[in-house]
Structure 1
């Protein structure tokens, strides 16, 4: 059994954005813009790959629908809770340690950098500043209107925050890559544009020995959404595996049952926590 880690992350990203039509495709669009800016700034293939993967997961710490929708405001209020949760969810998985750190600081404004730099334990990656700007670009796009007519307003809005919300070098790179009309058309056709970028991303192929740590990560993201299900999926996975063993299934089939147990509630990521925890009779 071999699985692409990138394919898993893309699938997880897509499911998280199914929680509301207003969020559909958000992670992919931010990944596309981040990649374009990072490429313009000369990031290595390894750093571009981590940036792209980070962008696909950057709002994984947004637990409720309200949190996700609030993050669509350009001047977001108190964004650091979901950034910190995202960091803690991902940092325990070795292949995502760098993306976790980028996520932790992706809402830090450029003019706040000195406050963080004063604390020696803080070292904000360039990729966090790229992700911050890319995220705000997508927030500014009115998905109900044609995009070319909005491009000048969006660019002016971003440029006006250079040196304040956004790192000047990142703003300059954005101003360059956003000149062609194709940049804006790719945003609204993000599935096609992301496929091109995916082909340039350094992927990790998970074998049977390493796939379970990835499943544990996804399980943790799923179950964290509600205090009622904190260990639910891991319990289901263990029970399913043991039932398979008692039923005389081979080790390979038992492993598939364990994986299915970890993922069986994946659809909950597309259900608002306000519904999951709605009081019943």
Structure 2
């Protein structure tokens, strides 16, 4: 089923895939982390025979579950199990999700995705709690995978690690779902396949969500959060460029439809910066030649992200 809004159509679900991929390019350890996590959640949700709408909610939560971690260093600290307090980035993620109408239903899962079962004060049958536990297991599993080793040589150890979390960190029902799906070698091979993003785009559980430029502009706070809030030097940059662009469009007498498209382009012009490490964005001194080359890369990364939408 396709959701369409009148006007020039933008594939919002493809945009989500592009953002998810870009968020994980800042460090090689993070490559496809969120999409792999989403794949694991999808397969567990299918095994649990959840309703299609609930499976989609969980998948959308997993695709950008780390959106509240604004820097690559923060993401790496979570990825390597070094961060002691994950609550701030979970709360930020929830707030960002609630700003987008078609993501708001997934916000609670994002908030709870680092809450161990022993600290959860709700029933496993409460809305979105089991799904949040699936997301927690999926993320922990993905972080345990040795990217340098052949996946089928790791499956026994990975299954044992997840089994040992049952009852305390992860609810037993969720661990049992994972143990069922992970018996199949195809699960592991699909999870680590290099073409995972295309596989999820065309065979995954997310329906095609379409909107026009005006609908995409309603996500301005969402884009600002993932682009500008990563650095104190760019905290209002996107909003300022967007506002100036709209004012110039009015001065030039452009029709409203063109001004909306220009404003959207201004809102997204720095999207590729989510692939630039924060230590470069916030470096107080002069950039090296290599660092400046990484800065220049962001405009091309923006183009490649938007070209597939």
TM-score when normalising by structure 2: 0.84
Task: Say if 2:185 is the partner of 1:178.
Answer: no
Task: Give the SS at the match of 1:95.
Answer: coil
Q: Is the 8 A contact 1:32 1:193 kept in 2?
A: no
Task: Say if 2:226 is the partner of 1:221.
Answer: yes
The residue number in structure 1 matching 2:284 is: 279
User: Which of 66, 73, 77 is the aligned partner of 2:80?
Assistant: 73
Q: Deviations over 1:54-102 (max 9, x none)?
A: 1110001111222111111357521112111111222122221122211
* Unaligned ranges ≥5, structure 1: none
The residue number in structure 2 matching 1:55 is: 62
User: Which of 161, 167, 171 is the aligned partner of 2:165?
Assistant: 161
Q: Is the 8 A contact 2:122 2:129 kept in 1?
A: no
Q: Do the aligned partners of residues 75 and 111 (structure 1) sit closer, same or farther apart at CA in structure 2, a change above 3 Å counting?
A: farther
User: Which of 251, 254, 261 is the aligned partner of 2:256?
Assistant: 251
Task: Say if 2:196 is the partner of 1:193.
Answer: no
Structure 1 residue 137: deviation in Å? 0.8
User: Which of 19, 28, 39 is the aligned partner of 1:12?
Assistant: 19
The residue number in structure 1 matching 2:237 is: 232
The residue number in structure 2 matching 1:43 is: 50
TM-score when normalising by structure 1: 0.91
Distance 1:195 1:117 in 2: 33
The residue number in structure 2 matching 1:110 is: 117
Q: How many residues are matched? A: 275
The residue number in structure 1 matching 2:269 is: 264
The residue number in structure 2 matching 1:241 is: 246
Structure 1 residue 3: deviation in Å? 1.5
Across the aligned residues of Structure 1 and Structure 2, the Cα RMSD in angstroms comes to 1.9
* Unaligned ranges ≥5, structure 2: 1-7, 287-309
Superposed structure 1 runs of 4+ greater than 6 Å apart: none
Task: Give the SS at the match of 1:49.
Answer: helix
Task: Give the SS at the match of 1:173.
Answer: helix
